[in-house]
Structure 1
Amino acid sequence: MAEYSISELNKVKRGPKRANYDIDTINSILDDSFLCHVGYVYKGQAIVIPTAYARKGDVIYIHGSLKNRMMLSLLDAGVASVSVTHLDGLVLARSAFHHSANYRSVSIFGSVRKIDDSDEKMEALAYILNHMVPGHWDNVRHPNTKEFNATLVLEIKINTASAKIRAEGVNDEQEDHDLPIWAGVVPIKQVAYDAISDTNLPLDVKVPEAVKLYVSKNKSI
């Protein structure tokens, strides 16, 4: 298994037994979501912003307006830190101290590049939309010249990364096991419901197959 080398930058220090540096595992966590949080510094102030992303190989794409302060700050810095987290369960212990959560998280550290080539830029925008709903790019109007020119697309090359994963039950103190207090795990999953069509749609416009497939794969049972 290929792994990212452990450095001072990506080393998981708190709870190192839950650390994972396997590239396939990290990519899997990235591919299971389309929302990341990006850290940057603007005029000396640290800021974290959620934004959509897509992964292609060892890079992720993000986009925003030409005047977006996050995008411009990342370009100025030349490097980026990005995190993705999935909440998989609430771990409810007998004691308040041992309450926790099951999760899968990734921290990425990479170099930033502005995508100027028109074909590459359009492909990146398609990746971002299709990462949200696979195949949906083929169902929508593509950006016109004005929209395209007003959009800044950045590539963040994943130079190194680490994952941290908790997937276990309650870890109470042994002496608390006989207490008459319930303990256990409440699993959590993000689910999709049936698509709600816009009220202004022409009567003959139906929900695209890509959207219906996304709903069926992510629907609550």
Structure 2
Amino acid sequence: MTTHTSGPATDRVRVRRRAERASYDQDLVREILDEALLCRVAFVDDGRPYVLPTLHTRQGDTLYFHGSQQNRMLDRMLGEPICVEATVVDSLVLGRSVFQNSMNYRSVVVLGTGHEIVDRDAKLAAMLALVDRLMPGRGPELRPLTEAELGSTRIIAVPLDECSAKVRTGPPVDREADYDLPVWAGELPLRIVPGTPVPEPHLTPGIEPRDNLVSWGSGRSGV
């Protein structure tokens, strides 16, 4: 896939509002998609627009989504144009006026059409990739998927052919006349950190969470 660093792949994904915040660097797009825990998929069903949150995983230049064979969103992703959006919020940006309060963020928009993965091994690889993205290294300790479970699952792939990133960084941009106001201004960094693991009610006594679960997120931005 072509790396679009100087401009968008198509005019449909060109960032127009605050274009200086835009990036078409595929490495940045991949980085944001990998860090975002959730994405949102916009689709049209029976003439009505819907936006639903869902889990995703990325392998190479393709996004993968999974759900049941009866999943309405996955069905509407086939053969019809969709929009996928993911955002990572890095900090609250607090200015001295109502007008200058914002967020620092990294976001991605992907346009395209999904296609179904039907090959058994490819489906299995996508399912394992999703588990590994949420909790790296957990896959080998889990009970393997049964053929019935794999058969009841639908995998939809969306290529990253049309996508763009938009990023805001830095402090608030107050008017110079507001600098002397007695109001605190600056950035409040935000991050996702793990809490204390809560055992499932049927957990066999003596089974403790692995270290990588307790330290989840240590490699994520801001942690």
Cα contact 1:54–1:62 (8 A) shared by 2: yes
* TM-score, L = length of structure 2: 0.91
Q: Please identify, of 11-20 and 145-154, the stretch whose mean Cα deviation from structure 2 is larger.
A: 145-154
Aligned to 2:109: 107
Counterpart check, 1:10 vs 2:17: no
SS at match of 1:194: coil
Per the TM alignment, residue 110 of structure 1 is displaced from its structure 2 partner at its CA by 2.7
CA RMSD in angstroms, aligned pairs only = 1.9
Aligned to 1:27: 30
Whole-Å separation in 2 of the counterparts to 1:21 and 1:156: 17
Cα contact 1:53–1:61 (8 A) shared by 2: yes
Counterpart check, 1:73 vs 2:76: yes
5 Å matches for 1:58-97?
A: 58-77=61-80, 79-97=81-99
Aligned to 2:213: 211
Name the amino acid aligned to 1:182: W
Name the amino acid aligned to 2:126: A
Whole-Å separation in 2 of the counterparts to 1:217 and 1:158: 24
CA shift digits 1:151-204 (9 cap, x unpaired): 111111111211110111010111111222221111111111232222311124
Per the TM alignment, residue 209 of structure 1 is displaced from its structure 2 partner at its CA by 4.3
Whole-Å separation in 2 of the counterparts to 1:194 and 1:139: 21
Residue-pair matches, total: 219
Name the amino acid aligned to 1:74: M
Seq. identity, %:
32
Aligned to 2:156: 154
Consecutive unaligned residues in structure 1, runs of 5 or more: none
Consecutive unaligned residues in structure 2, runs of 5 or more: none
Aligned to 1:164: 166
Whole-Å separation in 2 of the counterparts to 1:24 and 1:138: 29
SS at match of 1:9: helix
5 Å matches for 1:176-187?
A: 176-187=178-189
Structure 1 stretches of at least 4 aligned residues deviating more than 4 Å after TM superposition: 215-218
